[in-house]
Structure 1
Amino acid sequence: MTRVNIAQPDVTLTLDMDGVIRGASLSDAIPGEQVQAWLGRPWSETVGAVGVDRVRSMVKDARAAGVSAFHQLTQRFPSGLELPMEYTTVRLGGQAGLVAVGKNLQAVAELQSRLLAAQQAREQDYWKLREIETRSRLLFDASSEAVLMVRADTLRVMEANPAAIRALGIAPGWEVMKEIAPRDQDAFQAMLLRVRRMGRVPGIILRMGPDQAQWTVKATLMAADPAPVFLLQFALAGLAANPPPADAVQLEELIEQLPDAFVVLDRDGVIRRANRAFLDLTQAGALSRVIGERLDRWLSRPGATLSVLLSQLQQYGSVRLFGTALTGDLGTEAEVEISAVLGAGAAAENVAVIIRDVSRRLAPRVENDPLQLSLSEVTAQVGRTPLPALVRDTSTIIERHCIETALQLANGRRTAAAELLGLSRQSLYMKLSRYGMDGEIESSQGESG
């Protein structure tokens, strides 16, 4: 025979079929309470206002089905004590009445109250932590000292403040070791090993960047998840003895205030420096989102890409009014003109680029536009000329116009025009010969020369 252990109820009520209390008993868990005053009263009068309908529902369900569902309510005792209870009601055999048994939920309520208080305290601690993080972020971004946060296991930059991006040209995701001069890399590694053992050590002087400038570097090891990080602080060596000249500082401010976008690229087209106008044009929002990216990330016109621009720079040294389209990070497209020049001397590895948004210029009057006039002549032939002939004539007009436009953008240089059109040089020569444009191009090249 199986033995079933049933927990003793804290309150047991004997009811008639109308829900009037005929008997009541309490467990030892509720000592000192006298419940004789309940006898002869409806059960619904001894509970809180919310529990009245629940009591009536339990009595009704027990009469109809023999047992009711569990319901929670507040039981009011004659002494004025109120306890949260959970009741169920069972019908006895025949017309013997009903029995309601209840369990005291005060311990559960106290536990819930403690849990709620703990959650509130945790939320307060969370917002305090967020406030501290916000203050730290503001100090990190506002610092005039170049600061990098570097993963200790990979030496890859996790965060770089604006001063580090401007001064070092390093953005998140870059590897610090690749920016340090090879002869100083062993000393840098040795310093990091000492920092791992002692937490913090005196700084060292090393050379960084394309100009191999000397920097004083200090490192601090910080705990982080999933791996510890190094906090690297950079200061130009001998800065106090050799402050930057006033005209250099003024030039930096003027570049930042330029209305046109200004960027400095390396020979691979990677952005090393950018002003505020470039951030606005690309909708990047922060300097760290453009430093280290290739310029062709935003150039969107086929045939007028960064590779074409760099090819012309390698061949001619400078490019003026290179027309293309630029698409920002938010999807806005703008017509732009690019002028660029290769650096010389100490800046030989860099490319200076100015990007001007020309999409807001007033559109030129098209009353005497040759393309429009030619297309209107073709349109006038509808109904007189078969459709295949009209399509062939239209294709010829548009092809000639595109070739003329590409030659104008390339200042008459056929090789550059072929790259803009996506054609081989021989294909372009054949089309020039077909349209009788050889003489015009030779004369334009003579005038430009």
Structure 2
Amino acid sequence: MQAFKAPKTSLGNLDAEAAAILISAAADIALIIDEAGVIRDAAFNSQELALEMEGQESWLGRPWVDTVAEDSRPKVEAMLRDVAARSLPRWRHINQGALRGTSVPILFSTVRVGDGGRVVAFGRDLRPLSALQQRLVEAQQSIDRDYARLRNAETRYRMLFQLWTEPVLILEGASQKVLEANRAADALLGRGGKRGTARVFLEMFAPEGQGPIDQLMASVRATGRADDVRARLLEDGREVLISATPFRQENASLVLVRLTYPQGEAGAIVLPKAKSKLLKLIESVPDAFVVTGQDGRVLTANAAFLEMTQLASEEQAVGEQLERWLGQPGVEMEVLTANLRQRGPVRLFATTMRGEFGATVDVEISAVSVMNGTGPCFGFAIRDIGTRVAPPPRIGAKAPRSVEQLTELIGQVPLKDLVREATDVIERLCIEAALELTGDNRASAAEMLGLSRQSLYVKLRRYGLGDLPAENGEAG
């Protein structure tokens, strides 16, 4: 500690009041403590801190060690011992007791003044620093959580990248060097999974096909899209279809390249470009579409069908009987296939579909039969009609036939119309019950209801109950 060189000359005759002002200005909180460690006076540099610390009155006459938190008491005792031994003062972090049992972090240092053993404890409010530290901790925790999410996402996508059945490569945009390739690409290019020096993408193909590939890459870099091109591999001469998609990562231009066989290993048929787009459209339409063989087993299905049947992947549906998800197994599928074989396309066949977890939905099915070389296959377009908005019911001359139908009108028609309808329903139910109890004897029913036979006939005609004679004189 560097002290004043000539305090008596520089400070002059400094009285107690001036010293108190200096002490209060030098610290956020100042405590005057006697030789027994009891607080005799206290000063605060801000009213807000004084209110937080319950003011100075509650501390006066109490030992300093009793006004701090439990974990800070040894520090206070050590500070008082050090100042009594006239050791060099040290700053210590003390949790000073505050309002409602809380504590405020204060950085204290003690100085002995005068010959009476009095001690001045200077305190600096550490709340701004503590709040900053807390924000730093929260920011670090948020960064750690974001980093963990990014790491998990990268792991998932890298796993998908490696397990994808099509050869996929990632190229550097300008040099066309292969930066990454999945396992299928390694097998196709004969790399055997080894990660050596990066190869230039063009060098993997026969010379006659490098020109179209170069044009493809140039078009992708310039416009962001380009038509697929075909080329032959240099190593085995197999023809592949090349698709390229640009993207940016860390301010670098990269290209995602997919390689597919124009004809599959099993001799799959190559569709014209327009038909290929049509199949992509069917895969994305909101209505379910499924293709089955003549035995009713699923061959392929789009995403909407998987959502309707609550399946996670197409593999779970392939090979299963379509009637497994239809409303009445063993009945409706036979009706559909019989109509397809005998009468041709089926339109708007109403039924229900059941999901794997019990959800049911009302649907309309349109179906068609197509020859597929080895035999017919059936295509089913399935539309969810459960979400259709029904037209609001109108109150006409004919009353609702049940209480349930009446309750559906609540909120859609005025209250007076509902009351009239409810009266008609109750009246009709009472007449039906009376006719049933009397064995359809209308004279007895009229007497039971307290009506004349003429009035009963009028109400029977109104509600369309029973066969009435041309004249109202028959008792029934």
The higher-RCO structure (CA 8 Å, 6+ apart) is 1
Larger radius of gyration: 2
